[in-house]
Structure 1
Amino acid sequence: MSAEIATYVAKKNQKPVFICTHCEYSTVKWMGQCPGCGKWNTLEERILSSTPSRKIRSSIKPASITEKEKSDSITRLSSKMKEFDKLLGGGIVPGSVILLAGDPGVGKSTFLLALAKSGYRCLYVSGEESLSQVQDRAKRVGAMLPTVLFLHETSLETILAVIEKEKPDLVFIDSIQTVYSGEARGFAGSVSQIRDAAGMFLELAKRMNIPFVLTGHITKEGQIAGPRLLEHAVDVVLYFEHEKKGPYRFIRAIKNRFGATGEIAVFQMTSSGLQEIPPNKTLVNITESGGIGSILFPQMEGSRVLLHEIQALVTPTGFANGRRVGENIDLSRIHLIAAILEKYMSMRLSECDIFIRVRGGTPLKDPAADLALLLAMASSFLEKPIPAAVAAFGEVSLSGDIRPASETKERLKALLAYKIQKVFVGSKAEASPYPDQAIRVLQTLNEIPAALGS
């Protein structure tokens, strides 16, 4: 075959495709607006070969799942933070890739420096801050250590070369959206750039058995910026949340290949960095609870119990329809409990404004909060105060029945450690740590007025 014919065949097998740099929508013709995401001028032409070549390694053989590996146990790295190690399932697994996502200013970079204090040889790669900026924060949090190496770089190829040369114990990339590869299309932070950078970091982590911690930005919709593939590729996905206008920070495990999901670690942002909050410490002042419309609720966050205070204010409305205002709670839940109280207890809440405030750091999402929310609203409507240090939990059905909540024993055990004096529950757990006189079991809504008066 002549060279001209070979060139002609090669060009014929190549097909142009236009791919969106934002959502990776593909089409055979160029368009000004991407049909997938609605962005303008994001379609770029790429040449795809219709006959891709794939290398076949005949020496590879599958192994039996019953075979033992060279190492039966994995030696994890301790972060010297008990709550974070527990969140990961016992520590950082060598060769794992952890994605830490959060809003700007929540404290992701500060948390990386807290990890650097673990004593391991760490390489901190930042594409957002200079050495002097990181040094200033490191002095404040006590991370000025000779074991911490810093690299201000955004080039993917340079970062990979430095990692292979230095061979650190831990690698921090702050952030994945700032890394740029000259071999990939698009700008830094685009879908193609993030996908290629994450793929290279993942391959290097597995090959060199070095754990990586990547920080990621959060969009306005609350999603991690970049392709969804990023969350699927990494081993662990952590969301760094914060309390509005509060010092508390929460790291929640959304995905964890080496431990349980849904677990949470609580920290407090101080002038000297992040401080761990142990499980036996509450985020609300128990002595300030109680009164008209105020009650405590133990919310399950993974295996941890976080104590919340629910405050309710029910007052006659000055409008045709009552307003519903909630803080750290879904408004639909307020509507639901108000409808149950109006139907089965003849409380004309449709003619009232209802204001609900939840204190305790995290939003009120536990189904067992129905009973506590109902008692707080009924207390405010009937103007019957609730004593201090009183908690409640249980689910309320649409038929007006009060049903038991999940993990009752764990909640009662935590409330006993918090020295809660009285608890309203949907059912009593077996082998309850509480004395009988401290637990009041409620089964129907008709018992609510008498319970508030007790």
Structure 2
Amino acid sequence: MAKNTTYYVCSQCTYQTIKWLGCCPECKEWNTFTEQTTHTSFGSSLQAKSAGNKSPTLHMQSLSTISTTSRPRMYSGIQEWDSVVGGGLMPDSLVVLTGDPGIGKSTLLLQICNALARAYKVYYFSTEESLLQVKIRADRLACTQEKLLFSDNAYLDAIMTTCESAKPDIVVIDSIQNCYQQSSQAFPGTVNHLRESTFQLMRLAKEKHITVIMTGHITKEGIIAGPKTLEHMVDAVFYLQGDDRLHIRMLRAVKNRFGTIDELGFFQMGGQGLEQVPDINAELIKSASQSPGSVLISELEGSRALLLELQALVVPSKLAMPQRVISGIDQKQVVLIAAILEKYLHIKLSTFDIFLKVSGGFKIKSSSVDMGIALALLSSYFQQPVPGPSLCIGEINLTGKIQPINYVNTYIKEAERFGINTLLVSYDQKIDTKNCRKRGFKSVYDLLSLFDEK
């Protein structure tokens, strides 16, 4: 006797309910519930119990008997990739590479597979493109390794059977959303399908000792498509992001069980695919200008100090509620700095439209750019450039005092490399340099000394 059961699942956190809800009570997201149907057979569990089948006894072993040197990390030789994944791919891991459509996921993955195929047996399953389309891309990228084998079959059961018998070192699924299973009634790309497919690939990686890389789509909010449990099931999640105007691509780890999530890898899209950019600051700083509203700031990403241009435009507003258009920085942080300037410098920024952006499409999260935000706003307000070349580093508290920051010598070392000889920092900031001149400020009021108010 069988019965169909209908229930609703949140696409973000997989919370289940028997009726549709507008807002998920677990993750508080709106309009995320999708209808699911299961085919249950009464008495099946009773038959399984009556059969008297027992689970096998598990073999337990000490960790001291397991060798970590017999299967080292898988190095591709592409330094920007290897550093982000933690020094090479970990054997038996399940990895997701995601990003916007057209950002270059398949291109990067094909280049990485070609590099890994020098030492490993790699199977590449293209579920979105035909072998002819993959061949055209491979020819453009000069991917000619014989150990790199391809298939355009999207049938996951066949993929599993092939990999279990051939036992390749690395398996690539591009992409997981297009795979399908005959044993599953879920439509490809749905919540249940993604969960089931990921579980099957996780079993393949752990039981058969195969490293699995799969690409995934992202939603309009910029998060990986599918239930949130997918990120918990896999070992690592890497995002490929970028700014089309600079053709720069950033590889960022948002989860990595076997490495840090602070490192960034940089690539540049060219005619031969994605090329490594080991010196990203050389690309970023060449477009910087010493014009009103423009200042140079620095953000620490992993072990790298990025030199970024911060641009501000402050103009009188004709609206009842002046605009605040911010890109690359938390809007609340900019509004806070503007309020501090208005409070202690008596500048009516509340009557001005404020536009502010970070060049290169980067996102700033640290408070070390507070002084850079303040100087960019003042520079645009007074229509005078900040004396330079100079680097602005400092945190501003609610009383208007400029405070020192940590790791300042890392910023200084990168600034010296590009001939930036002036540091605009807190008066109390201790620095270790002989090539840069320190100009210290105690409060936001002291920043006015940089501008001719006449």
Q: TM-score, normalised by structure 1?
A: 0.88
Cα deviation, residue 16, structure 1: 6.3
From 40, 49, 60, the counterpart of 1:47? 40
Distance between the aligned counterparts of 1:373 and 1:34, measured in 2? 39
CA, structure 1 residues 33+323, in 2 after alignment: closer, same or farther (shift >3 Å)? closer
- Match of residue 263 from structure 1: 263
- Give the deviation of 1:407 after TM superposition: 2.1
In structure 2, relative to structure 1, the CA distance for the partners of 1:34 and 1:368 (3 Å cut) is closer
> Greater shift after overlay, 283-292 or 311-320?
283-292
- Quote the offset at 1:45 in angstroms: 3.2
CA contact (8 A) 1:283 1:360 kept: no
* Conserved 8 A contact 2:248-2:269: yes
Instruction: Let me know the Cα RMSD of the aligned residues.
Output: 2.8
Aligned pairs (5 A) from 1:221-370 = 221-279=221-279, 281-286=281-286, 288-370=288-370
Matches within 5 A, 1:80-229: 80-118=77-115, 119=118, 120-229=120-229
Displacement after TM superposition at 1:40 (Å): 8.4
| Secondary structure at 1:117 match in 2 | helix
For residues 175-229 of structure 1, the C-alpha deviation after alignment (integer angstroms, 9 at most, x for no partner) is 0111111112210111121111111111111223221111000011222111212
Once the two structures are superposed, the pairs formed by residues 372-387 of structure 1 within 5 Å of their partners are 372-387=372-387
Q: Specify every segment of 5 or more residues in structure 2 that has no aligned partner in the other structure, as ranges.
A: 25-29
Whether the 8 Å contact between 1:15 and 1:50 is mirrored in structure 2 is no
- Partner secondary structure for residue 245 of structure 2: coil
Q: Distance in 2 between matches of 1:164 and 1:172?
A: 14
Report if the CA contact (8 A) 1:280-1:417 is conserved.
no
- Matched-pair contact (CA < 8 Å) for 1:306–1:360: no
8 A contact 2:403–2:429 mirrored in 1: no
Query: How far 1:408 moved relative to its partner?
Result: 1.6
Q: 1:430 to 1:112 in 2, by over 3 A?
A: same
1:77 equivalent in structure 2: 74
Q: Which amino acid aligns with 1:46?
A: H
CA apart distance, 1:141: 1.3
SS in structure 2 of the partner of residue 282 of structure 1: helix
Equivalent residues of 1:251, 1:266 under 8 A apart: yes
Contact 2:99–2:240 at 8 Å: present in 1 too? yes
Q: Corresponding residue for 2:7?
A: 19
Q: Which residue of 1 aligns with 2:27?
A: none
Name the counterpart of 2:371: 371
1: distance between equivalents of 2:428 and 2:303? 20
Q: Deviations over 1:132-171 (max 9, x none)?
A: 1111111111113322211111111111122223322221
Alignment of 1:419-434 (within 5 A): 419-426=419-426, 432-434=432-434
Separation of aligned partners in 2, 1:396 and 1:258 = 36
Could you say if the C-alpha distance between residues 196 and 446 of structure 1 is closer, same or farther in structure 2, counting changes exceeding 3 Å? same
Q: Distance in 2 between matches of 1:136 and 1:384?
A: 52
Deviation (angstroms), 1:368: 1.1
Identity %: 35
TM-score of the aligned structures, taking structure 2 as reference length: 0.88
**Between 141-150 and 101-110, the greater mean CA deviation after superposition:** 141-150
Amino acid at match of 1:91: G
- How many Å apart are 1:292 and its aligned residue? 1.5
Q: Aligned pairs, how many?
A: 437
Q: Which amino acid letter does the alignment assign opposite residue 110 of structure 2?
A: L
Deviates more, 1:345-354 or 1:444-453: 444-453
1:442 partnered with 2:441:
yes
Check the 8 A contact 1:287/1:388 in 2, yes or no: no
Moved over 6 A (4+): 32-35, 48-52
